[in-house]
Copies of this chain bind each other. A is one copy, B any other.
Amino acid sequence: MTSFTVSTSRREALVDITEQVAAAAARHSQAAALMVFSPHTTCGILINEGADPDVAHDVLAFLHRLVPQSSHFRHVEGNADAHIKTIMVGSSVSVMLESGRLRLGTWQRIFLAEFDGPRRRTVWVQALAAAPEG
């Protein structure tokens, strides 16, 4: 298991972590896949388009409207919305590797989805083995 940290600068942000994940992948030339895991409960991990930053803007704006911060929640810390968004997005993704290189679609990038920043976040990475042939 390896890890890296990410500092987020706003309450809600999609931070592109593809390069950090690729660096971890490069140390595992025989791995078939990499688990990328957020050990936090108010930020998740997702895969989507990175070419147009408007996509990240639209995703965050939509989720912000869908799950308002002040919507009659009980949780006293005032961040119930961030927990709910994290559950909707998920805490982890798995991506395939080939000879230590990430296999992603042309437009895909890996993002940490911050919903209760700004904070310093940790991302865990674990390499998984390919099944034997046959």
Residues of A participating in the B interface, judged by any CB pair closer than 8 Å: 1, 27-33, 35, 37-41, 46-49, 52, 54-55, 57-59, 61-63, 66-67, 71, 73-77, 80, 83-84, 86-96, 98, 103-108, 124, 126-132, 134
Contacts and interface: CB of A to CB of B under 8 A. Distances in A.
| Copies of the polypeptide in the assembly | 3
B52 A96 contact: no
A91 B49 CA distance: 12
A48 B41 contact: yes
Q: Which 7 A-B pairs have the closest CB atoms?
A: A39-B105, A31-B131, A127-B131, A54-B74, A58-B80, A129-B129, A41-B49
A121 to B, nearest CB: 10
A83 B108 contact: no
B30 A55 contact: no
A71 B73 CA distance: 23
B49 A83 contact: yes
Contacts of A47: 41, 91-92
A42 to B, nearest CB: 8
Contacts of A49: 41, 83
Contacts of A95: 37
